[in-house]
Structure 1
Amino acid sequence: MSMYHTVVVGTDGSDSSLHAVARAAELAGTAGATLVIACAYFPTDEREVAKARDELGDDVAYQVVGSNPAEDTVRRAAERARAHGATKIDTVAVSGKPVETLLKVVAKHEAELLVVGNRGLRSLAGRILGSVPSEAARRSRTDVLIVHTT
């Protein structure tokens, strides 16, 4: 019996995050677990987009804006996950900041493992302001796997 029944992985569609999806898919497939692929996105309201740009700085290029691109992102990630061994896959696109969104998805799906890529851990901004992987690891109440993706 596997200790992981549900694994959540975050993606923004970047090559780095898709590498984390592949690793999470391998784990979920081996464990017979459900893989939940989550994409946080910012609404397309111009004020919200401007606010996101202010908050994200250099990482803004990696953020998904709008629900349609987010749905496309999780669909492509699910295809990659299938190719890497996951057989039970759910996808969710949720409006909000990446860390808060991932933690909500983990709680909602009662996941035992959260998988994220390491992008942002080594940057100066990531060390000073925090990055998705470091913040997720600090705030998560479940196991966190930080995949070396960069």
Structure 2
Amino acid sequence: MVGADGSDTSMRAVAYAIGFARRQGTRLVIVYARTPGGGIGAMMDTTGTGQAAAMGEQDRIEVMLRELLEQALAIGTRTELVVRVGDPFQVLCQVAREVRADCLVVGSSTSFGHRIAGSLAVRLVRKAHWPVTVVP
């Protein structure tokens, strides 16, 4: 299973996971957690333009992931895309339990704040229910 959010590192993680699943002959589940209502910045926007822009960006990411899904299927990798609304950590853990994931692949965080507070990858490693591969 691989988590994707449209960032460069998550897209590298998706590419890594597709190749890994193809070589191993296993099924791959790509998970995208959409932010409810467009995210925190959009909630503070009283005009609604921020929310519309955030939702448009999330739609663009979902379309991009669907295109990757089609490419993976074209090379013979059994792949599915799961799109849920919610906190990425919670969504990844929930889907991993549902599909009985053998491992999780995520991209590394490039945010400075995550070095202090802990990134999604670190939180998943601490949960320790699945092996986690972090792709730089």
TM interval, short-chain normalised: 0.7 to 0.9
Separation (CA, whole Å) in 1 of partners of 2:42 and 2:119: 15
**Long gaps (5+) in structure 2:** 45-53
Q: Would you identify which runs of 4 or more consecutive aligned residues in structure 1 move more than 3 Å?
A: 51-54, 64-71, 79-83
Alignment correspondent of 2:133: 145
**Long gaps (5+) in structure 1:** 1-7, 55-63
TM norm structure 1: 0.71
Shift of 1:127: 2.1
Q: CA RMSD in A?
A: 2.7
| Counterparts of residues 1-150 of structure 1 (less than 5 Å) | 8-44=1-37, 49-50=39-40, 65=55, 68-69=59-60, 71-79=62-70, 81-82=72-73, 87-120=77-110, 123-148=111-136
TM norm structure 2: 0.77
Separation (CA, whole Å) in 1 of partners of 2:76 and 2:87: 26
Separation (CA, whole Å) in 2 of partners of 1:136 and 1:69: 26
Q: Which structure has the larger Rg?
A: 2
Shift of 1:132: 1.2
For this pair of structures, how many residues does the alignment match? 126
Separation (CA, whole Å) in 2 of partners of 1:65 and 1:9: 22
Contact 1:37/1:77 (<8 A) preserved? no
Bigger shift: 125-134 or 104-113?
Answer: 125-134
Alignment correspondent of 1:3: none
Separation (CA, whole Å) in 2 of partners of 1:86 and 1:135: 32
Identity over aligned residues, as a percent? 35
